[in-house]
Every structure is written in structure tokens, then in C-alpha cells.
Amino acid sequence: MRIDILTLFPTIASIPLGESMIGKAQQRGLVTIQAHNIRDWTRDKHRTTDDAPYGGSQGMVMKCEPIFEAVEELKKKWIEESAGNAAAQSIVIYLTPGGKRFDQPMATRFAQPGAHLILLCGHYEGIDQRVIDHLVDEEISIGDYVLTNCAIAAAVVTDAVVRLLPGVLGDENSAPDDSFASGLIEGPQYTRPVEYRGWRVPDVLLSGNHAAIAKWRREQAVAKTKRVRPDLLGE
């Protein structure tokens, strides 16, 4: 899998993605992640990537030209690296507060070995609509709030996707047991010591009865989901 991140601030995305499990996944060749500076595709001496909006408004809008040239170059490179594999399609994802809410099923859909994702990070007042109309495949948002920099959102999406790839996590059952994988929030977890300051680990977890433990965990997950995310249960 390859993920290319297009942003004006590449280090904001690349530094956290070089650590922990995602960093190790890159070292092991399970995924290639590269953050690019959109300014590298500008043609003027000032490396201009934005301009004032037509019609008048506050802020600046990111220009078409460098974004189109960047995406087209990255797509061409991917086709060459894929040796003409017809299934090796690139997906261009625009990260924007106005996009579809990113969730676990979406991360699972993107997490396909051999896939190529291009994550386009908006800045300022956004990007020229012609990029969205003629270049972007999907618009996604990581939540109902606004960030100063979408490179942070790109790092979030990349982490959520890459950790689902085969071989990235140490335990292959870790991802299926995560919150949201079953439509529920994951229930409580405990480790040693058995008792701390009078607070004891639930006896069922010490029983060795796997069926009883699975039943307890399911009940706890349903109870927590009802308490903090009833929307997941349609309530």
C-alpha cells in the first residue's frame, strides 16, 4: 500500500507517522507513506499556492494548478510502480470539515493491500472547487470541528487505515476487537494487580470461563455504548 499526503506543512504529518506501529510498518515494507509539499509543484518564484477568492470573501483559496500537477504526477508514478496493474487505482481524498464523517467502516474500506491513497489537505478557506469537481474522489471529515491544519487530519486517517493492514498489529485479533469494529464501544479492560486501593478486577475475568468472559464483555460494551454513544445503537 502507498499513501501520499499533499499539504503545505508535510512535517506535521510525517513526524507522528514515523513513530510506533505505523513507523514500524513502514520499516517492514508493509506500507509506504510520504508527505509532500504542494509548493514543490508551483512555477513562480514565490511558490504561490493560494489567491484571493472570486466574488470577494475573507481568507485565501488554494489554487488549482499545483494541486492538479501534484496529483497527476503521483498517479503516474503509482501506475509505473504497479507495472501496469489495471486494479492499481489511485483514490484522491480531500480532507475537509464539509466532508462525509470518517469512521471505522470507511477505514476498513480504504485498508487494502496494494491500494494507493492520495490525501489532499485543505488550508485557509479551502481549495478551488474545480479540484473537487474534477480530481477528488471522496471528501471526508474527521469530525464536526475545524483544525488550523488538515495535515493533522491526514495523520489521523493514515493511522486508522494502516493499522488495519495485515501484519501491522502484533495480534491479528486486535483490530477486530477494537471499538466500532462491531458497532459498539469497547468495554473496560484490566491488568495486574488484581486489587488496587480496594478496587478489584471483576471476578468473571479471573474465572477462566471464556464463554462467561465473552458474555460479560459484550454486556459491558453495550452498556457503555448506550451511555456515551447511543447514536450507534440508533437510540
Q: What is the DSSP string of 23-48?
A: HHHHHTTS-EEEEEEGGGG--STT--
Which residue is listed with cell 507522528? 16
Given 16, 73, 97, 229, the catalytic residue: 97
Residue 178 among the catalytic residues: yes
- Distance of alpha carbon 191 from alpha carbon 202, whole angstroms: 11
By CB atoms closer than 10 A (0-12, 13-18, 19+), residue 74 is: buried
Burial of residue 213 (number of CB atoms within 10 Å: 0-12, 13-18, 19+): middle
125 is catalytic: yes
Residues 6+ apart with CB under 8 A from 100: 106, 138, 139, 140, 141
Concerning whether 97 is annotated as a catalytic residue, the answer is yes
Residue among 2, 4, 66, 163 flagged as catalytic: 163
Q: Is 172 a catalytic residue?
A: no
3-state secondary structure of 179: coil
> One of 69, 125, 139, 186 is an active-site residue; which one?
125
Q: Active site residue: 39, 178, 186, 229, which one? A: 178
**CA–CA distance, 22 with 161 (Å, rounded to integer):** 10
Alpha helices per DSSP H over the chain: 10-17, 20-27, 64-81, 104-110, 129-134, 150-162, 203-206, 210-228
* Catalytically active residues, by annotation: 97, 125, 163, 178
